[in-house]
Structure 1
Amino acid sequence: MTAENVTRINHTFCGIPPYCDYEAIEECWNTTIRDCPLCSNAGSDAVLTYILLVATFIILGNILVVASVFVMKSRSRKTQDLVKTSLAIADMFTALHLFSVCVPYIVLTPQLTFQELNQLVIDLRQSDVAKAMGTVLLFTYISSLYHLLYMSTQRFSAIYAPFRYRNQSCATILRHLAVLWAVVIVGSTFALWKPEYFQIQYKPEMFQFMATVGENEFSVSDAIALSILVVLPYILMSGLTFATAYSARKRLRQSRRLNRVESAEHQETSLIKVTCAMYLGFTITVVPIVIGNFLLMAQYLKCDNLSAPFFATVHTSTLNGILNVLIYSAFDRTFRQTVRKVFYRMCRKSESDNSRNHTNNIRLRQTDSKSPKFNRAQLTVKL
């Protein structure tokens, strides 16, 4: 067996680009992936197009959320709008991560041979780029999780402690959000605390940097810390969401029985629906990742067949960045009204500019018509 064949067998990466067959590692070890017959150029273009569309829609959708908050002038929803704006900014980091990490490596990969791709994975392992981008990826996940946990806490407080909830000031909400962002930023560096347990490396099947478990075994304290950081917030969010939804449904039935409908109660019910829908959407986008890792541990997924499933599951979770905008559009009537107001103002501004230009043209024409003309007959009489 030649040294080259040994290198091919003992390559560093497990998954490969999702549009290639696993046999391409050996067949195209010294051939660029673009020219490899076992890799699909159409698949590469489809992956790039998908990532670009998702990132673009996330940016535009969340910019629309922030713009609608500035247009909205309802004082009763001012504290809620602060949370909505904070979540929109957090979701934009998902799009920025896709643009700055996934897109460049998706473009670069077809230009490499599998030998060069193998060396790239080796060079980037535990590098400064890997640590930074792995931290950003974890940040995009836990920022959404912690914002949804805070929103669930707010809805729970509105049901079980309404007086305290209604007396919250904007300064209080801003302090809460500052603490939330601090926890998210510190928590996203968790993989850097224990380099002996975690290795951050580039994953060519997902075009992202992810923290993987190293050779050393987890200690009990590290497992507990990771559970508190990632698992416990989701459990708390689930409990608060279900308790709030149950109480809101019970109160709504009582109100219907008494033929009493209050605007404040109707508004709070709408917000609870939005929170429940966001919780459900977050769960739907994250569950595939959990299932994929379970299948990997159970060895149903191996190096030769994990690339496409893992790309699909990981990048399904990025849809959570645009899912919240769709939920606002479906369940939040006030958001729909403000979005229409935003577009109306934009259209009215363009129409007013056109009408202003048209008016100026008319005035110029009238001024020209009123200007004195040269009369030869009058000039002759005067002479």
Structure 2
Amino acid sequence: MHDYGIASGYSGMQSNEESSSDVNEGSALNERFLVDIPIPWTLAELDDIVVLAAAPVYERDRQFSNISRLCSYPLFLEEELCKNEVDVWFCTKPWAAVIFGMIVAILAGAIISVNALILGLVATNPTMRKQHHAIKASMALADGIVGFLLLCTVLPAMAWMSTVTMDDFVSYPGNTINSPFAIFFGALLNVSIVGSIFHLLLLSIERFAAIKWPFWNRTRKTRSLTYSLFGLWMVIITVAIVPAAFPEQFAFQFQPSLLTYMMGLQSYSTWRAPLYGAVTIFIPYTVMVCFCIATAIDIAQKIKQTKKTFDSDHEQADFTQQGPRKTYIRQEIQVFLTLAMMITVFTVTLLPFVIVVSLLTAGYLKCNNFDGYYVTAYYVGMLNNLANGIIYNFRDKKFRKAARKLLCRK
């Protein structure tokens, strides 16, 4: 999930502020001049030179005097009231700000709690230390980062907004472009998003191997999985911070409508942006889906073969060997269905954000009408980090039993 449609809107912010600085110096005089014009006067009765010079300056000052300069702003602000010298709290809709803050706090708390529960159970319960459980615990660590970011960026930004003027708030996003603070939190968000899809990819490969080569999967040493997870995290971290090395194309900065830090584009005319999107989302997602389809086909074939063997004439020794095999296949089917549900939820929650950003990039959505869609799509995408843990909880009987034992312990 990357903000491909927003950051470019800030690239010209500094130039806009410089061009409007001269305007602001004379804005008070120009506004007073227009207000003091007696009503009976007509435009023809005024000095043409003065009027034609003053009116455009006043219009430009009015254009750049409110939060429309940002091209996006928090939904709980009243744009008409948010003038430059006004404190942000003056143009804040309190009820909307409270609702927004509560939603963010509840979502962050739920994400952290569910994923911390997975990590705690896998770490303390020996029966949960299976290979696919270890991968899911690693994914829970990546998912939990989002909850941390929401608590450490969005809620403090709301508190900060109440103490500053609109001048400070409007200029802040431009001042944070590729700053160390923005790179740190923006890269953490990349780690969480890229981590989720890369862990799902690893899970899909692991499930395919478990069905295709069950003997190899059962005899595989835990050390090999440890190396795989370590290598995966190295790739995730590297991919997340690589854009910081190309400030001409990518920009880590504060996103005012979301009150958090994200990675966006400085320019659309670059080959690195589509390449980065392909490496981080489209290629892993395509490979993941292909492995899931291949696993489903192999499961269907094994079920068919097992049924034929079970129904055919055979010796008693052969018959007794079918029970463990059927049980193993049944267990692997349940794990595969859990993975399929997680991939489906990932697709459903990510798709709205992709659609909104695509429409914004294509010009179908503009600065004056995309905020609501953008904020909604972003937080729908965050639900994926909560859904993984919930699906894992309800789909795994051993996990439910261990969770109840831990949570209900006196």
Question: What's the TM-score once normalised by structure 1's chain length?
Answer: 0.82
Answer yes or no: is 1:280 the counterpart of 2:332: no
Aligned partner (choices 233, 243, 251) of residue 294 of structure 2: 243
Aligned partner (choices 238, 241, 245) of residue 186 of structure 1: 238
| CA contact 1:12–1:121 (8 Å) conserved in 2 | no
User: Which sits farther off after the overlay, 280-289 or 60-69?
Assistant: 60-69
Structure 1 CA distance for aligned equivalents of residues 78 and 216 of structure 2: 59
SS of 2:253 mapped into structure 1: strand
In structure 2, the partner of 1:120 is 172
- Kindly tell me: are residues 215 and 74 of structure 1, through their superposed partners in 2, closer, same or farther at Cα, counting changes over 3 Å? closer
Matched-pair identity in %: 24
Structure 1 CA distance for aligned equivalents of residues 392 and 289 of structure 2: 20
Structure 2 CA distance for aligned equivalents of residues 11 and 329 of structure 1: 44
Answer yes or no: is 1:34 the counterpart of 2:89: yes
In structure 1, the partner of 2:248 is 196
| CA contact 1:19–1:308 (8 Å) conserved in 2 | no
Alignment-mate amino acid for residue 142 of structure 1: V
- Kindly tell me: are residues 223 and 298 of structure 1, through their superposed partners in 2, closer, same or farther at Cα, counting changes over 3 Å? closer
Answer yes or no: is 1:106 the counterpart of 2:163: no
Answer yes or no: is 1:291 the counterpart of 2:355: yes
- Kindly tell me: are residues 139 and 239 of structure 1, through their superposed partners in 2, closer, same or farther at Cα, counting changes over 3 Å? same
In structure 1, the partner of 2:393 is 329
SS of 1:30 mapped into structure 2: coil
Q: Deviations over 1:322-359 (max 9, x none)?
A: 11121112221221122122234x22xxxxxxxxxxxx
- Kindly tell me: are residues 294 and 186 of structure 1, through their superposed partners in 2, closer, same or farther at Cα, counting changes over 3 Å? same
Give, in angstroms, the shift of residue 78 of structure 1. 2.0
Give, in angstroms, the shift of residue 172 of structure 1. 0.7
SS of 1:189 mapped into structure 2: helix
Alignment-mate amino acid for residue 89 of structure 2: R
Give, in angstroms, the shift of residue 191 of structure 1. 1.7
Alignment-mate amino acid for residue 148 of structure 2: L
- Kindly tell me: are residues 34 and 175 of structure 1, through their superposed partners in 2, closer, same or farther at Cα, counting changes over 3 Å? same
- Kindly tell me: are residues 10 and 47 of structure 1, through their superposed partners in 2, closer, same or farther at Cα, counting changes over 3 Å? closer
| CA contact 2:66–2:166 (8 Å) conserved in 1 | no
SS of 2:126 mapped into structure 1: coil
Structure 1 CA distance for aligned equivalents of residues 139 and 232 of structure 2: 11
Structure 1 CA distance for aligned equivalents of residues 210 and 64 of structure 2: 62
Give, in angstroms, the shift of residue 216 of structure 1. 6.6
In structure 1, the partner of 2:127 is 74
Give, in angstroms, the shift of residue 318 of structure 1. 1.4
- Kindly tell me: are residues 235 and 24 of structure 1, through their superposed partners in 2, closer, same or farther at Cα, counting changes over 3 Å? farther
Q: Where do 1:29-178 residues align within 5 Å?
A: 29-36=84-91, 39-74=92-127, 78-178=130-230
In structure 1, the partner of 2:330 is 266
Structure 2 CA distance for aligned equivalents of residues 41 and 253 of structure 1: 62
In structure 1, the partner of 2:53 is none
Alignment-mate amino acid for residue 314 of structure 1: Y
- Kindly tell me: are residues 84 and 207 of structure 1, through their superposed partners in 2, closer, same or farther at Cα, counting changes over 3 Å? same
- Kindly tell me: are residues 23 and 6 of structure 1, through their superposed partners in 2, closer, same or farther at Cα, counting changes over 3 Å? closer
Structure 2 CA distance for aligned equivalents of residues 119 and 265 of structure 1: 59
In structure 2, the partner of 1:230 is 281
Give, in angstroms, the shift of residue 23 of structure 1. 3.7
| CA contact 1:196–1:216 (8 Å) conserved in 2 | no
Q: Deviations over 1:345-381 (max 9, x none)?
A: x22xxxxxxxxxxxxxxxxxxxxxxxxxxxxxxxxxx
User: Which sits farther off after the overlay, 251-260 or 313-322?
Assistant: 251-260
Unaligned runs of 5+ in 1: 348-383
In structure 2, the partner of 1:350 is none
Give, in angstroms, the shift of residue 225 of structure 1. 4.7
Q: Where do 1:334-349 residues align within 5 Å?
A: 334-344=398-408, 346-347=409-410
| CA contact 1:201–1:210 (8 Å) conserved in 2 | yes
| CA contact 2:88–2:164 (8 Å) conserved in 1 | yes
Give, in angstroms, the shift of residue 153 of structure 1. 0.5
Aligned partner (choices 18, 43, 55) of residue 75 of structure 2: 18
| CA contact 2:211–2:299 (8 Å) conserved in 1 | yes
Structure 2 CA distance for aligned equivalents of residues 245 and 11 of structure 1: 51
| Paired positions, count | 340
Structure 2 CA distance for aligned equivalents of residues 9 and 172 of structure 1: 57
- Kindly tell me: are residues 123 and 11 of structure 1, through their superposed partners in 2, closer, same or farther at Cα, counting changes over 3 Å? farther
Q: Where do 1:344-359 residues align within 5 Å?
A: 344=408, 346-347=409-410
| CA contact 1:145–1:234 (8 Å) conserved in 2 | yes
| CA contact 1:285–1:319 (8 Å) conserved in 2 | yes
Q: Deviations over 1:111-170 (max 9, x none)?
A: 433322112122212211111111111111001111111000000111222222222111
SS of 1:157 mapped into structure 2: helix
Structure 2 CA distance for aligned equivalents of residues 170 and 334 of structure 1: 20
Give, in angstroms, the shift of residue 24 of structure 1. 4.3
